Amino acid sequence: MPNMSLKKVTMPEQDPNVRNKNFNEVALGYTKEQAMEEATRCLNCKHKPCVSGCPVNVPIPEFIKEVAAGNFEKAYELITSENNLPAICGRVCPQENQCEGVCVRGIKGEPVGIGRLERFVADYHMQHAEKKSVQITKNGIKIAVVGGGPAGLTCAGDLAKLGYDVTIFEALHALGGVLMYGIPEFRLPKALVEKEIETIVDLGVKINKNVVVGRSITIDELFEEGYKAVFVGSGAGLPKFMGIEGESLNGVYAANEFLTRVNLMKAYDFPNNPTPVKVGKKVAVIGGGNVAMDAARTAKRLGAEEVYIIYRRGEEELPARKEEIHHAKEEGIIFKLLANPKKIHGENGWVKAIECVEMALGEPDESGRRRPVEVEGSNFIMDMDTVIIAIGQSPNPLIRQTTPGLDTHKWGGIIVEEETMHTSKQNVYAGGDVVTGAATVILAMGAGKKAAKAIHEKIQSTMNA
Amino acid sequence: MYKILKKEKLNEAVELMVVHAPFVARSCQPGQFIILRADEKGERIPLTIADYDREKETVTIIYQIVGYSTQLLSSKQEGDTIPDFVGPLGKPSDLKKHKRVLGIGGGVGAAPLYPQIRKLHEMGVAVDVILGGRSKEFIILDKEFEAICDKVYYATDDGTKGKKGFVTDVLNELLNEGKEYDEIIAIGPLVMMKAVVGITKPKNIKTAVSLNPIMIDGTGMCGGCRVTVGGETKFACVDGPDFDGLLVDFDECMRRQGMYKEEEHSCRIGLGGK
Ligand SMILES: Cc1cc2nc3c(=O)[nH]c(=O)nc-3n(C[C@H](O)[C@H](O)[C@H](O)COP(=O)(O)OP(=O)(O)OC[C@H]3O[C@@H](n4cnc5c(N)ncnc54)[C@H](O)[C@@H]3O)c2cc1C
Ligand SMILES: Cc1cc2nc3c(=O)[nH]c(=O)nc-3n(C[C@H](O)[C@H](O)[C@H](O)COP(=O)(O)OP(=O)(O)OC[C@H]3O[C@@H](n4cnc5c(N)ncnc54)[C@H](O)[C@@H]3O)c2cc1C
Ligand code: SF4
Ligand code: SF4
Ligand code: FES
Ligand SMILES: [Mg+2]
């Protein structure tokens, strides 16, 4: 008889007023007992709606059944048959729109805590399992992967398992992409990201850090060096600005810079780590997505007294995950909705205040969301020391500028055939944010998987021909 | 890991290193730079590629010890390694086959200037250069420049080499004498580049400058290196570092460069003093 409780087993969390002063993880994870109890809420549905909601088709009811029985290692094997980075996905997947969004238990009450269970299994494995050396028969065929974010890592891992000789070329000094430089420590501990990446590297993937493809070596040159296919997973790392007056004042950051300083360079531990970051008493974060929530919660932890989220639409339209909005509010972030920045005022070259105009919601636009319109004459000014702009990112132009024959959309995204992730250039594949624009970790991983499969099929067919 | 094959002291504050960095050496061009981390926790700091050897797969950097990270770099010896060394970054300089070009190098700015002037020389362009520094000891690469330039002029604050005064004093003299240049390339502290443009802009002489804003990734990802050129926002690490000096907002650059003055200071006393 399944556990018919309408609510998920609660996951312990740090108290909001404690955690908003430290960088330790907010959610503490299930114990064995809690996980086993939550697992008994799964109905093991025949038609598995949850699996179709997962972009990488994790065998959800099957792994949950093993959790319920206490066979955690078996559960781990089942998850990792489809998902190379379960500890990460269990933490940052927008489950409410994916697996959990279509879970039958969600019709009446809360869905099964699939993400929490996935996280538990991955963490349990990391703590308990001994490293197994994997035996893979190498086929000697070289494949290059550009970018070590979730898309590139997944593609590399899948191809390595099939015996390919895979090399990842990564521009930064660390792998992980946004997982390392964007998503904060308190949501996704970096030691854990490193460990999860290690399992992919252990498959025999070669890593070339500090290589900027397009500058250090071009895609055409990679083919000259004997790579048979190239997967581009270079992400959408180019920050957008608003184009308003005052954006170049000292104290104005793009969220990417602010988060990179704090996460990748560990500026929260300055001067022990020598990269500095500046946060004043009053901080305005512009935007309403995950990036904005992360920047705001980070600013709070760095000691800001008042942190505002300034967003031009309403609460309903906030694009961030519900859980993150909830956490942000608990931690004391102030939401200034239906407000649009017009100008950043300065004094002696530093941010002094932000001027906004109030917005009202009009008719629905192309995206189906109600279009915000300015309320004339409603300008207001709030004193600020720091302004962080988190209104979106687009793909970096470097690769398209240095790769003849690679077609892109006007906004910069690489154009691919949906089934294979093949681009307009022979034997070049692409996936993740560089194709879709800023999206999610799991979609990037799904794209990497699809491309790996297509690359393998293409190479096999040419070998058999 | 990137091995330091050679280290040399050029003067009390400036040093040169030759580093084994195959991915940088294979394709770098004058005007480009690298970013390194001197240790595993290190800041990412940009330095111009002063020279390279494609066959030996090496890159030469010349740096002035000004704070924590350059001091940490300086503590490394021949045979040691640098954990991270990425490049080439930035756009190669747009060097045209002019008749005559004047290079102006202030202090350690002579280092990034050198590969550009040498390339112009190889292209058959006649080049003059003005080198400036606090005193004689702070002039670097003078021998190297003299080997390829028609004329090398000097300016030092104390008059120990060449004219007593600034590089701009020499520039004014040359222009007043009626010397004509198709382009001027000025690299040095922002105040110097601003002063040069103060002279060349009214005369409408094409002037290239190399901007050095605070950088992190160097790939166009963080937006921290933004500068205003001709009223537009540019990212110096991908759109530059060379820009049309006549269009640069130098005051904004100077202001942004000083954004971490306090922290850099505390970092220096806190850690650099040992
Ligand atoms: C602050 C923030 C919070 C987020 N929160 C969530 C969340 O909670 N849940 C979620 O699902 N998604 C979230 N996302 C989105 C998610 O992180 C991305 O969709 C995902 O990381 C995209 O993966 P990717 O592999 O395509 O690209 P990235 O993760 O961007 O990785 C690209 C990699 O390629 C490298 N690269 C770029 N150009 C080159 C080059 N020329 N040569 C070599 N290497 C290069 C980059 O350095 C980087 O390492 C968040 C994003 C941000 C910024
Ligand atoms: C494209 C470019 C090329 C450069 N080439 C050279 C070169 O060939 N030789 C050389 O000696 N110097 C060069 N610089 C400057 C060099 O990067 C700085 O001197 C160095 O980062 C100082 O670090 P620090 O920790 O020792 O000093 P700090 O005390 O931290 O800083 C001293 C000053 O250096 C600047 N600075 C600090 N951090 C950075 C950073 N991350 N990026 C850029 N500037 C910073 C600031 O103006 C600061 O006030 C270049 C800078 C750029 C942007
Ligand atoms: S990978 Fe993401 S969507 Fe798939 S089951 Fe896990 S948490 Fe759900
Ligand atoms: S839909 Fe929900 S209850 Fe049904 S199998 Fe999936 S997780 Fe279990
Ligand atoms: S240094 Fe980050 S965008 Fe230029
Ligand atoms: Mg420094």
Could you tell me the CATH number of the domain that includes residue B106?
A: 3.40.50.80
Compare all CA atoms of chain A with the CA of B258 and give the residue at the minimum distance: A250
What's the whole-number mean pLDDT along residues B205-211? 97
Q: Cα B215 vs. chain centroid, distance in angstroms?
A: 14
Distance between CA atoms of residues A260 and A180, nearest Å: 8
What's the whole-number mean pLDDT along residues B105-118? 94
Q: Which ligand is located closest to the Cα atom of residue A47?
A: 4
In terms of DSSP H, where are the helices of A162-316? 178-181, 190-201, 219-224, 255-259, 290-301
The lowest-confidence range among A119-133, A389-403, B176-190 is: A119-133
Residue B274 belongs to some domain of the structure: no
From B60, B89, B118, the end of a domain falls on B89
Judge if B115 and B17 occupy the same domain.
no
Distance between CA atoms of residues A86 and A75, nearest Å: 11
Judge if B235 and B197 occupy the same domain.
yes
Judge if B51 and B113 occupy the same domain.
no
* A54 Cα–ligand 3 center, Å: 5
Residue B271: predicted pLDDT:
47
Q: Measured between beta carbons, which residues in chain A are less than 8 angstroms from residue B226?
A: 241, 248
For chain B, the domain total comes to 2
Q: Domains for chain A: give ranges and CATH numbers.
A: 16-128 (1.10.1060.10), 142-236+394-464 (3.50.50.60), 241-391 (3.50.50.60)
Say if residue A110's pLDDT is above 70. Answer: yes
Using a pLDDT cut of 90, give the percent of chain A over it. Answer: 89
Among A171, A251, A257, beta carbon nearest to B223: A257
> Strands of A206-208's sheet, edge to edge?
A206-208, A165-169, A142-146, A229-232, A428-430
Residue B126 belongs to some domain of the structure: yes
Distance between CA atoms of residues A193 and A188, nearest Å: 7
Question: For residue B183, what are its two tokens?
Answer: 């382009």
The tens digit of pLDDT for each residue in B244-256 reads 999 999 999 999 9
Q: Please state the atom number of ligand 3 nearest to the C-alpha of residue A445.
A: 1
From B70, B89, B108, the end of a domain falls on B89
From B89, B108, B125, the end of a domain falls on B89
Q: Does A208 touch chain B (CB under 8 A)?
A: yes
Say if residue B272's pLDDT is above 80. Answer: no
Residue B264: predicted pLDDT:
83
Residue B47 in contact with residue B73, Cβ under 8 Å? Answer: no
Q: Does A401 touch chain B (CB under 8 A)?
A: no
Burial class of residue A57 in the structure, from the number of CB atoms within 10 Å of its CB (0-12 exposed, 13-18 middle, 19+ buried): middle
Q: Does B39 touch chain A (CB under 8 A)?
A: no
* B88 Cα–ligand 5 center, Å: 14
Confidence band (pLDDT; 50, 70, 90) for B132? very high
Residue A427 in contact with residue A229, Cβ under 8 Å? Answer: yes
Judge if B51 and B73 occupy the same domain.
yes
What's the whole-number mean pLDDT along residues A17-41? 94
Domain of B138, in residue numbers: 100-257
Q: Which helix (H) or strand (E) holds A64?
A: helix A60-68
Q: Does A402 touch chain B (CB under 8 A)?
A: no
Q: Does B217 touch chain A (CB under 8 A)?
A: yes
Say if residue B267's pLDDT is above 60. Answer: no
What is the 3-state composition of chain B as percent helix, strand, coil, each rounded to the nearest 5?
30, 30, 35
What residues flank ligand 3, with Cβ below 6 Å?
Answer: A 54, 56, 58, 60, 83, 89-90, 93, 95, 98-99, 114-115, 118, 442
Nearest to B47 by CA among B61, B30, B57, B66: B61
Judge if B112 and B85 occupy the same domain.
no
Q: Does A448 touch chain B (CB under 8 A)?
A: no
As residues whose CB is below 5 A from the ion ligand 6, the structure lists B 67-69
Using a pLDDT cut of 70, give the percent of chain B over it. Answer: 97
ipTM score above 0.90: yes
Residue A40: predicted pLDDT:
96
More confident call, A79 vs B270: A79
User: B69: distance to nearest CA of chain A, Å?
Assistant: 8
Residue B270 belongs to some domain of the structure: no
Query: Computed from CA positions of residues A39, A40, A43, A44, in that sequence, does the dihedral angle turn out positive or negative?
Result: positive
| Side-chain half-sphere exposure of A404, counting CA atoms within 13 A | 2
Beta strands A428-430 and B207-210 are unpaired
Mean pLDDT of chain B: 93
The tens digit of pLDDT for each residue in A290-301 reads 999 999 999 999
Please judge whether B271 and A250 are an interchain contact, meaning their C-beta atoms are less than 8 angstroms apart.
no
Judge if B168 and B75 occupy the same domain.
no
Q: Which ligand is located closest to the Cα atom of residue B217?
A: 5
Judge if B107 and B239 occupy the same domain.
yes
Judge if B133 and B252 occupy the same domain.
yes
Count of residues for chain B?
274
Residue B225 belongs to some domain of the structure: yes
Judge if B171 and B217 occupy the same domain.
yes
**Helix B250-257 × helix B190-200 angle, to 10°:** 180
**Which residues of B define the annotated binding site?**
62-64, 222, 225, 237
Among A209, A251, A274, beta carbon nearest to B41: A274
Could you say which residues from 313 to 332 on chain A have a Cβ atom under 8 Å away from some Cβ of chain B? Answer: none
* A149 Cα–ligand 1 center, Å: 5
Judge if B84 and B107 occupy the same domain.
no
Q: Which residues contact A329 (CB under 8 A, 6 or more apart)?
A: A335
Any ligand 2 atom below 6 A from CB of B190: no
What's the whole-number mean pLDDT along residues A115-119? 97
Residue B269 belongs to some domain of the structure: no
The tens digit of pLDDT for each residue in A177-204 reads 999 999 999 999 999 999 889 989 999 9
Nearest to A83 by CA among A434, A461, A443: A443
Compare all CA atoms of chain B with the CA of A242 and give the residue at the minimum distance: B233
Distance between CA atoms of residues A375 and A112, nearest Å: 43
Q: Tell me the CATH number at B20.
A: 2.40.30.10
Judge if B52 and B148 occupy the same domain.
no
Please judge whether B223 and A239 are an interchain contact, meaning their C-beta atoms are less than 8 angstroms apart.
yes
Question: For residue B182, what are its two tokens?
Answer: 């198709």
Compare all CA atoms of chain B with the CA of A261 and give the residue at the minimum distance: B216
Distance between CA atoms of residues A323 and A328, nearest Å: 9
Residue A369: predicted pLDDT:
80
Residue B30: predicted pLDDT:
93
Residue B264 belongs to some domain of the structure: no
How many Å from the N-terminal Cα to the C-terminal Cα in chain B? 25
Residue A86 in contact with residue A76, Cβ under 8 Å? Answer: yes
Say if residue A129's pLDDT is above 90. Answer: no
Query: Computed from CA positions of residues A402, A407, A412, A417, in that sequence, does the dihedral angle turn out positive or negative?
Result: negative
Residue B271 belongs to some domain of the structure: no
What residues flank ligand 4, with Cβ below 6 Å?
Answer: A 42-45, 48-50, 60-61, 103-105, 112, 114
Distance between CA atoms of residues A117 and A120, nearest Å: 5
Compare all CA atoms of chain B with the CA of A276 and give the residue at the minimum distance: B263
Q: Cα B109 vs. chain centroid, distance in angstroms?
A: 4
Distance between CA atoms of residues A169 and A216, nearest Å: 10
Confidence band (pLDDT; 50, 70, 90) for B266? low
Residue B232 belongs to some domain of the structure: yes
Give the Å distances, CA to CA, from A221 to A106, A144, A290: 51, 11, 37
Question: For residue B259, what are its two tokens?
Answer: 């954004």
Residue B273: predicted pLDDT:
37
Residue reference for tokens 């988060």 = A259
Instruction: Compute chain A's Rg from CA coordinates.
Output: 23
Judge if B41 and B172 occupy the same domain.
no
Q: Which residues contact B261 (CB under 8 A, 6 or more apart)?
A: none
